[in-house]
Amino acid sequence: MLNQKDILSTLSMIDQQNLDIRTITMGISLLDCCHSDPKVACDKIYDKITTSAQNLVKTGEDIEAELGIPIVNKRISVTPIALVAGASDTDDYVPFAQALDRAAKETGVNFIGGFSALVQKGMTRGDRNLIASIPEALAVTDLVCSSVNIGSTKAGINMDAVRLMGETVKACAARTAHQGGFGCAKLVVFCNAVEDNPFMAGAFHGVGEPERVINVGVSGPGVVHHALKSVKGQPFDVVAETIKKTAFQVTRMGQLVAQEASSRLGVPFGIVDLSLAPTPAIGDSVARILEEMGLEVCGGHGTTAALALLNDAVKKGGVMASSSVGGLSGAFIPVSEDEGMIAAARSGALTLEKLEAMTCVCSVGLDMIAVPGDTTAATISAIIADEAAIGMINQKTTAVRIIPAPGTQVGDTVELGGLLGSAPVMPCHTGSAEEFVARGGRIPAPMHSLKN
């Protein structure tokens, strides 16, 4: 029989350390829903999603009950809508977002991702239409998430798209000004976007993926934090080893849930994304893990090194625990969604510059950051370009999810609610990047040799 101590340690992880499965995400291909009549296309999209995912939420809840592990979100990701809607005779893609929203509500999922375009090298008519529709689409829907990939290591950075996305983020904030610019929380700008990411807002179902697929995202910053408390003062080798063991356990659980969901739904298993995804709850913070390593406050000197170790150890521990690891896999640092990050940003210890440095060594990028409402579109484009450059050169995924909350100034807080938390408005440089952004064109792809 199993060791009683092991059983109780699992229960304690679930009860006291906020261990959970963050998401079961079903990827659904919509490539066969293209139609020249947009109305027909939207109907096909709605029908396909509601049929494919009709049992997703129920199955998630059943697994949750049997295994006794919370599964926080059930989500759907779909083929980038720019590819599907591009076939339709229309320039307005908002109805497509509304069809996704209706389908998401019908199936009972928490979010649906894929109102997306991939424009790292150039934009098609469909891509332009989609980007133009984003502010309205995110304002009139509740559950739809949007992402745009504007750069990659192989293609370089599309600076025309970067300029467009700076303007789109501002338009999104203006269109949802009454909600503190909430629309921006559902919009991610990527460099090197991955096709099998189960996490929102950046999830979409890539064209290289099968008809349907189940991807699972695990979480567990609280578990890692708790484990590190038992090795206080010990060398970093011990810290890394402890994180690896914990990540292994957490990922095994994710793998089990993924297999169960896959076999019950009759949908192939894709990947487990072993990310440390924080929530605003006390004891579920990535920042507190970094502080546990000996930093007085997250954002101080040493933070980047601590995060690098954490990110790498999580991957090493998780890789052996799952038959297939993918997605973003690493540590997330969304400011508004992490109790420790919120505190550090409020105290001024955590700045945009430090966050940018941190994104060089962890998954994703500048995530859930509020900046003053008068931040210009050019400045946001420049922030996106900086972050994309980090991703492009370092062959990693980077992203920007930034909220220029209308009417706010440094020191204010934007309340986003639920898992999205509350974002302290952080200062950014006021030096103009207008001319830089106005150039447009493309930043060429980097060398793939002579690396240093």
Q: Please give the span between the terminal C-alpha atoms of the chain, in angstroms, as a whole number.
A: 53
Residue with tokens 């859930």, as numbered in its chain: 368
- Of residues 249 and 379, the one with the C-beta less far from other proteins: 249
CB of 9 to other proteins, least distance (A): 8
- Of residues 43 and 62, the one with the C-beta less far from other proteins: 62
**Contact flag: residue 1 with other proteins (CB under 8 A):** yes
- Which stretch, 192-200, 248-256, 295-303, 376-384, contacts other proteins (CB under 8 A)? 248-256
CB of 60 to other proteins, least distance (A): 13
The interface mask with other proteins, positions 40-69, x = CB under 8 A, is ----------------------x--xxxxx
- Of residues 69 and 420, the one with the C-beta less far from other proteins: 69
Pick one of 2, 178, 266, 452: the residue that binds other proteins (CB under 8 A): 2
**Contact flag: residue 230 with other proteins (CB under 8 A):** no
- Of residues 62 and 241, the one with the C-beta less far from other proteins: 62
The count of residues interacting with other proteins (CB under 8 A) is 20
Residue with tokens 């019950």, as numbered in its chain: 264
- Of residues 2 and 447, the one with the C-beta less far from other proteins: 2
- Of residues 58 and 105, the one with the C-beta less far from other proteins: 58
CB of 69 to other proteins, least distance (A): 6
CB of 77 to other proteins, least distance (A): 25
**Contact set for other proteins, span 3-22 (CB under 8 A):** 3-4, 6-8, 10-11
**Contact set for other proteins, span 64-123 (CB under 8 A):** 65-69
**Contact flag: residue 256 with other proteins (CB under 8 A):** yes
- Of residues 247 and 345, the one with the C-beta less far from other proteins: 247
- Of residues 28 and 256, the one with the C-beta less far from other proteins: 256
**Contact flag: residue 449 with other proteins (CB under 8 A):** no
Interacting residues toward other proteins by CB under 8 A: 1-4, 6-8, 10-11, 62, 65-69, 249, 252-253, 255-256
